[in-house]
Structure 1
């Protein structure tokens, strides 16, 4: 065990001894996400570096404090990538934070989520034990897959020290098509195209200046992308499309801009086949072939918005509070869990962190 990891283990041991809450922090790029930020900061930046990378095996093992941009650059040199396009939001994000947040970018509906690419992990639990889960190949995953449970846990199970990730080659060809249409027509088209053998990778419907546009990204073999482009039609976008999708991934797109004081950003996760959801005339930005819909609405409309999401077969997350209220508010960020799922969550948290020292209140503010 190297010095950086030993220091973290010692810090956790001391915190567990006197029940001192710790706030695990990588680059802080996702501090806005989740419930409360509290406890003494336990930084992971010293746990940096790629420990193993086998391009021919499509596997990389990297320490949790490694900047996400550094990992992506190393993969790009070998013509590979993290296909789920983890959001950066701002500079400084780390690999550990990427896994802990469990957030995916525009391609998620076609390629899978962060958890689908986590093969193994090393974790310092609340007893100051260094645990190893999974491995570097898919066949090592058996029984209860703890490595993937870490995705989206927001640091409540322990300090992620290292992760092994499956990576994929960059697609040989890519094209972005634009179609002028209403939200209803966009959802209809996406569901229709989803049943065909097309190289669909990402989609986004957005309305600006009163006009709706569906953007469709195709990725795959050159012949497949060219054939699909010719078949689907639409207006093919220029080379700036890569920057456009990146702005969407990091919520730098103009639709996300502006702080209207009392307006929060809501994320609704619903079935792709769900119809247009009328939220007081609020026009969303729609991603993931209809499965992810962003709305701007006051936090106080939580019950109303969540009732609509539930009726559609999904759930709603208060993703961002306006800057003026980012640190306060009594509206739960995450939708209520069912009783059985809540019991599993609590049991896992107790097993991994019996003294409740890690990121207390980040998932459940009532802790």
Structure 2
């Protein structure tokens, strides 16, 4: 296609002149990561579903395809992206979702976005078009590059297309609400996690725990009967609000931190307010406390902390890497993008081994 040739010329010119490129789709996640630099390479010119096999549970689409278009096509066949990628705006693209690597409320039970990526086509800084993986689960011999690209923030190359596994929509969904403090909610979520329950999402905030059940009608009905709680009839806007961060908790300019910890971690004693997802494994924190304090507390629990939105990025948006891991990142970046033109520093400043 002509757009590929245009991009190749843009990439080669950037590599020759050492001018960085800022790979960008709908821009709905521009806030995420370190500061943005470089000439914009807009991926929306390369759009459309290339192949969709509902019986094979696989969809392949170009990087600039609107995420809404992907989800609408799947909904027509009663299927879905099981990792519930957040959009953060109507312009979200398929490539942007994969590059950010973000998953929504269903992630703890269905898996992360990278678990569903089967294959990718990538343009490197030499203008070469490289194909990794395929359209089936067992298609990797050696290093799984396709999943490496998920969450890479566009720093390794220009993703042209992605093949992704999809799943059928559950036959039945219902949500229960329970009034309980944070400590009890965490204890209860971990107890439920060891039971054969059709849990597909959880969210605790301000003394209320919401638990979503998804699956076969009989399984959901049995869980509703056994768990008790209050049945929440009109809960779809709530779960959409959590996924898209339109829930009132996320409003305001206070820095928002994304804390990943073992689900069994007790309450984190940190200034600010929290919203807890993924059975206790994801803690959203709104706080003005300094990055060092947050990372020290979360690190002691065996987790890591990301400055997700707002705040002072000079301490690094992402958890600082251990020296050995930083060297691996540097080598990967040098292998895929020796010219260092793709979204440089969007994740880490490899030159200084910090974010």
Contact 1:36 1:365 in 2 (8 A): no
Is contact 1:22-1:359 (8 Å) kept? Answer: yes
SS at match of 2:161: strand
Q: Is the 8 A contact 1:268 1:315 kept in 2?
A: yes
Does structure 1 residue 271 correspond to structure 2 residue 255? no
- How many Å apart are 1:283 and its aligned residue? 3.0
Please give the alpha-carbon distance, in whole angstroms, between the structure 1 residues aligned to 2:247 and 2:21: 34
**What whole-Å deviation, never above 9, does each CA across 1:240-262 have from its counterpart, x for those lacking one?**
21111011000000111122xxx
Residue 339 in structure 1 maps to residue 323 in structure 2: yes
Q: Deviation above 3 Å: which 4+ runs of structure 1?
A: none
Which residue number in structure 2 is paired with residue 325 of structure 1? none
Correspondence 1:204-223 to 2 at 5 A: 204-207=203-206, 212-223=207-218
- Relative distance call for 1:329 and 1:338 in structure 2 (3 A) is closer
Per-residue Cα deviation, 1:115-138 (whole angstroms, up to 9, x for no partner) = 000000000011111000000001
Matches within 5 A, 1:219-258: 219-238=214-233, 240-258=234-252
Q: Distance in 2 between matches of 1:218 and 1:292?
A: 18
Matched, 1:131 2:126: no
- The whole-number CA distance in structure 1 between the counterparts of 2:137 and 2:326 is 28
Equivalent of residue 287 in structure 1, options 267, 277, 281: 277
Unaligned runs of 5+ in 1: 323-327
CA distance in 2, matches of 1:53, 1:88: 21
1:181 aligns with 2:180: yes
What is the deviation of 1:329? 4.3
1:302 to 281, 291, 304: 291
Give 1:4 shift. Answer: 1.2
Separation of aligned partners in 2, 1:193 and 1:119: 31
CA offset digits 1:23-67 (Å, max 9, x no partner): 000000000000020000001001100000000000000000000
SS at match of 1:62: strand
Q: TM-score, normalising length from structure 1?
A: 0.94
In the TM superposition, what is the alpha-carbon distance from 1:297 to its structure 2 partner? 1.2
CA offsets per residue over residues 47-106 of structure 1, 9 Å max, x none?
Answer: 100000000000000000000011000000000000000001111000000000000000
Secondary structure (helix, strand or coil) at the match of 1:236 reads: strand
Structure 1 contact 36–360 (Cα < 8 Å) conserved: no
Determine the C-alpha separation between the residues in 1 that align with 2:217 and 2:328.
Answer: 45
Alpha-carbon RMSD: 1.0
**Stretches of structure 2 lacking an aligned partner (at least 5 in a row):** none
Q: CA deviation at 1:331?
A: 2.2
Cα distance in 1, alignment partners of residues 80 and 159 from structure 2: 21
1:361 lines up with 2:352 in the alignment: no
Give the Cα separation in 1 of the matches to 2:107 and 2:236. 16
Q: In the TM superposition, what whole-angstrom CA distance separates every residue of 1:282-327 from its partner, at most 9, and x where no partner exists?
A: 33100000000011112x61000000000010000000015xxxxx
Q: Summarize deviations over 1:133-162 as a string: whole Å, max 9, x none.
A: 000001112210000000110000001000
* Matched residue, 1:88: 87
Partner Cα distance (1:297, 1:276) in 2: 15
2:274 and 2:283 in contact (8 A); partners too? yes
Alignment of structure 1 residues 108-119 onto 2, 5 Å? 108-119=107-118
Displacement of 1:344: 1.2
The equivalent of 1:50 in structure 2 is: 49
TM-score by length of 2: 0.97
Deviations 1:171-195 (A, max 9, x none): 0010100000000000010000000
Q: Is the 8 A contact 1:332 1:365 kept in 2?
A: no
2:326–2:350: 8 Å Cα contact kept in structure 1?
no
Distance across 2 between alignment mates of 1:200 and 1:142: 34
Deviation at 1:366, TM superposition (A): 6.2
Q: CA deviation at 1:365?
A: 4.0
